[in-house]
A and B are shown apart, each in its own frame.
Chain A
Amino acid sequence: MNAVLDWLAALGRAGFEALARLGRGHVLLLGILRGLGPLARRPRLLLVQLHSVGVLSVLIIAVSGIFVGMVLGLQGHYILSRFGAEATLGVMVAASLVRELGPVVTALLFAGRAGSALTAEIGLMKATEQLSGLEMMAVNPVYRVLTPRFLASFLSMPLLAAMFSALGVYGGWFVGVGLLGVDDGTYWSQMQAKIDLEEDVYNGVIKSLVFGFVCAWIAIFQGYDCLPTSEGVSRATTKTVVHSALAVLGLDFVLTALMFGK
């Protein structure tokens, strides 16, 4: 009987703690968004973060994009050629990338590359009292440290996803046209004819904006809310990657259902 009660008590405690964390996350998000005004007067802070969050992620995004495109070219050609439909390879590659793989894989890679770094950086700043130090210097650490990182992540994500998709299309072209003999003109003209700006491209951009928002929020909150010890920082970093991945994949289903589920 006691074991059951203990179990129930533990469940309740975990529930309350989860709710409290959710509340702290939203309060923090409000604080971050309130910092957008002050940030507009110091664009340099944003530029520095755009570099460390966005520019430094370009290499992994670019390489992954090319390889994913090449695999799409191979797999697509293998299946489409059975039906004699190799001509539509370009459409298949581009649609897969722009609608799904571009935003989703970019977000997953971004969480691993930039999100984990953000969490570790903010967590260590907390552990080494740098955030406290800013507060005592009458500088709001949310405005000064968190808001620029949040906005930089949010802005970088769609740009990185666009780069991923564009390079993926070239990867597919290299395999399909260069190696497997699909007609060059057909590859591009089919793509041009069938890919719809609104339905495909805009929806992909909306997805990556949502993923950017969520990944940045998770990474920054985990860093800011972590226990200021080495164990706390390491756990927060892991949580960033796991939570971001789950959130991206879950949201991707919801968004896809809303956009394409007629």
Chain B
Amino acid sequence: MPSRRRPAKRDVLVRIRGLRFYRGDRAIFDGVDIDILRGKVTAIMGPSGTGKTTLLKLIGGQLRPSAGSIEVDGQNIHALGTRDLYELRKRMGMLFQSGALLTDLNVFENVAYPLREHTDLPESMIRKLVLLKLEAVGLRGARDLTPAELSGGMARRVALARGIALDPMMILYDEPFTGQDPISMGVLVQLIRRLNDAAHLTSVIVSHDVAETAAIADDLYVIADGRVIDRGPPAKVKASGSAWTRQFMQGLPDGPVPFHYPAPPLGGDLFAA
């Protein structure tokens, strides 16, 4: 097996080195190295509050790291000027947890939005492209609905269609499976994998839904306490010797992450004056 630790530079789309990020005095990330490989589905997992969404915002250039570097397609994203940053963002799609659809536009106009903003295509071409993108997520028939009329899963699929409207090189998914019923969860899981392979995308999923994410990811990173504590293909991470990883992957209530929030002993607390 070729060394996973040092993939060839041209295979790496996002290279994160020595990333540190503080919120107040709290270190969200404290020296994180991540390589996201071209054409692969990379999942970044960890319990709630480990800053997974923050990581996506750092990759998208919406937040600045306290230290360390993030290179996207060879460009250090935090050294770019606004114009170059916006050019790079046109080649990234991001799927927000809520979908983040524009509530004053219907489904069709939401998907058409990036095309209208960034291209000079004629209306007939925009219509064809939008219908194709909606077809890819199975919602061509829902084009006239407003965002308020969509279920959570449908809103995410529309957001996905919008995310791929400009044929990006990479899509960032923020908790795509949270709060989905089993059917729409299955739909999303399949969709992410299929789109990745069919459109030669690179996908980054941040999630804490272990089973679904492990099922479609090529690479897993497990983050806790601001550090990467495990990495590798899902099978390898699942078999990890780390007690922490085992607790997380198997959903055990107690382990290195205690069930109890730190507190004084119960007896003393109950009978305190």
- A residues at B contact (CB < 8 Å): 125, 128-130, 132-140
Give complex CA distance A242, B97 in Å: 34
Which A residues are in CB contact (< 8 Å) with B87? 138
Contact of B100 among A130, A138, A139, A140 (CB under 8 A): A130
The residue in chain B whose Cβ has the minimal distance to the Cβ of A137 is B114
Which A residues are in CB contact (< 8 Å) with B159? 133
How would you classify the secondary structure of chain B's contact residues: helix, strand, loop or mixed? Answer: mixed
Give complex CA distance A26, B103 in Å: 28
Which segment of B16-24, B66-74, B88-96, B213-221 sits at the interface? B88-96
Q: Does B65 contact A (CB under 8 A)?
A: no
Which A residues are in CB contact (< 8 Å) with B226? none
The residue in chain B whose Cβ has the minimal distance to the Cβ of A127 is B98
Minimum CB–CB distance from B104 to chain A (whole Å) comes to 9
Minimum CB–CB distance from B248 to chain A (whole Å) comes to 26
The residue in chain B whose Cβ has the minimal distance to the Cβ of A139 is B117
Which B residues are in CB contact (< 8 Å) with A136? 60, 62, 89, 92-94
Which B residues are in CB contact (< 8 Å) with A134? 102
The 6 tightest CB contacts between A and B, nearest first, are A133-B100, A129-B100, A138-B89, A138-B86, A136-B94, A129-B96
A133 with B96: CB separation less than 8 A: yes
* Apart from A137-B114, A138-B87, A138-B90: 6 A-B pairs, beta carbons within 8 A: A125-B103, A129-B98, A130-B100, A132-B96, A133-B94, A137-B113
Which A residues are in CB contact (< 8 Å) with B162? 137
Which A residues are in CB contact (< 8 Å) with B57? 132
Q: Does B5 contact A (CB under 8 A)?
A: no
Give complex CA distance A135, B94 in Å: 10
Q: Does B6 contact A (CB under 8 A)?
A: no
Q: Does B118 contact A (CB under 8 A)?
A: yes
Which B residues are in CB contact (< 8 Å) with A137? 89-90, 113-114, 117, 162
A138 with B118: CB separation less than 8 A: yes
Minimum CB–CB distance from A122 to chain B (whole Å) comes to 12
Minimum CB–CB distance from B127 to chain A (whole Å) comes to 19
B103 with A128: CB separation less than 8 A: yes
Give complex CA distance A139, B159 in Å: 16
- Chosen A-B contacts, 7 in total, with CB atoms closer than 8 Å, are A129-B96, A129-B97, A130-B103, A132-B62, A132-B100, A133-B100, A137-B114
Which A residues are in CB contact (< 8 Å) with B62? 132, 135-136
Give complex CA distance A135, B62 in Å: 8
The residue in chain B whose Cβ has the minimal distance to the Cβ of A135 is B62
Which B residues are in CB contact (< 8 Å) with A130? 100-103
Which B residues are in CB contact (< 8 Å) with A129? 96-98, 100
Give complex CA distance A212, B60 in Å: 36
Give complex CA distance A212, B135 in Å: 46
Which B residues are in CB contact (< 8 Å) with A135? 60, 62, 89
Contact with A along B35-69 (1 / 0, CB 8 A): 00000000000000000000001001010000000
Which A residues are in CB contact (< 8 Å) with B92? 136
Q: Of A132, A134, A137, which is in contact with the most chain B CB atoms at under 10 Å from its CB?
A: A137
